[in-house]
Chains A and B, each alone.
Chain A
Amino acid sequence: MFLACAVEAVEALTIVLAVGITRSWRWALTGVAAATAALAVIVAALGPALDAIPINALRVVVGALLLVFGLQWLRKAVLRASGLKAQRDEIKAFAAETDAARGAAVAGDGFDGYAFTIAFKGVLLEGLEVAFIVLTFGSSQHDIGLAAIAAGVAVAAVILAGLAVRAPLGRVPENNMKFAVGVMLTSFGVFWGAEGAGASWPGGDAALLVLVPGVLLVALGLVQWLRRASGPAAVGRPA
C-alpha cells in the first residue's frame, strides 16, 4: 500500500513541478490546495459509507477492484520488463509537461488558470487513487487511520524527495515500483476476493506469504516467456 501511494504521489508531483517551475508556483500550489480540500470532502463522505457495508461484501468489492487494478498494473509492468512496451521515463515525462506548459498562453498577470487547473486535476486524480487505496486497504483491515498514516508518510516522503531533487524525477525507479505494486495489488485482490466470496484460505492470513512470492514468480516467468516469444528484437530493447 505504501508503494502504491508513493507511485501515485510521484505522478502527481511530476505534474505540479512541471507547471510550478514553468508557469506559476502560486497558482500551481493553489491548485494543489484546492484538490487536497476536495479530496478531504470525498474521503470524509466515503469513509463512513464503506464502514457500514458488511465485511464479506466489502472484501468481494475490494478484492475485485484491487485485482482488476493489480492485473492492469502487472500487465503493463510485464510488457515493459519484456521490452514490448516503452518504459515510463520520468525525465521525459517532466520535459513533456514543461514543454506543454511553456506552449500555453499566460492568462494575464493575475490568475493563471492553466497552472491551477493542471495542478488541480493532476493532484485530484492521483489523490483519488491514493484515497481509494487507503479506504479499501484500511476498511478491510479495520484500521483506516493506520492506512491513512502510511499513505501520508508515503506522500510526504515523495514530496520531500521532490523538493530535494526537483527535476531529476527519473532517479525514482518508477518502473520497478510499478512491478512491485502490481504484484501486491494482485495478491491482495486474490486473497480478499476469494475470502469475501466465501472461500477459506489454508493457513488464514499466512497464505499471503505464499501468494505474494507466487504472483511475483508467475510475473517474472511471463516476462521470460514474452521475451522468448517476441525474439531478439524485443530482448535488445531496454528492460
Chain B
Amino acid sequence: MSRLVRAAHAVWEFVVGDDPMTALGVVIALGATALIAGAGAAAWWVMPLAAVALLALSLRRAAR
C-alpha cells in the first residue's frame, strides 16, 4: 500500500511539480475551450490567454 502511495506521489511530483495551481488552471482552461468550441464559437484564443495569465500568476507567487 505504501508503495502505491509512493508511486502515486512520484507521478504527481513528475507531472504537477511544485505548482498545482498552474496545473489546475490548465485543466480549467482546456474545459473552457471545449465548452466554447462545443457551442460553435471561436475558442482558439482561450489557451494563449490562459497560458499568459497562469505564467504571470505563478511568477507573482514565486517572487513573493
Contacts and interface: CB of A to CB of B under 8 A. Distances in A.
Interface of A: 60, 63-65, 67-69, 71-72, 74-75, 78-79, 84-85, 186, 189-191, 193-194, 196-202, 207, 211, 214-215, 218-219, 222, 226, 229-230
Interface in B31-64: 31, 33-34, 36-38, 42-44, 46-48, 51-52, 54-56, 58-59, 62-63
A215 B48 CA distance: 8
B51 A186 contact: yes
A73 to B, nearest CB: 10
Contact of A218 (B22, B30, B55): B55
B47 A222 contact: no
27 contacts: A64-B27, A64-B30, A68-B15, A68-B16, A68-B17, A68-B22, A71-B58, A72-B19, A72-B22, A75-B19, A78-B59, A79-B59, A186-B55, A189-B26, A193-B29, A193-B33, A194-B43, A194-B47, A196-B30, A197-B47, A198-B33, A199-B46, A207-B44, A218-B52, A222-B56, A222-B59, A230-B63
**From DSSP, what is the main secondary structure of chain A's interface residues?**
helix
Contact of B55 (A64, A69, A71): A71
Given A65-B15, A84-B62, A193-B30, A202 B44 contact: yes
Given A64-B30, A222-B56, A197 B22 contact: no
Contacts of B36: 199
Contact of B37 (A199, A211, A219): A199
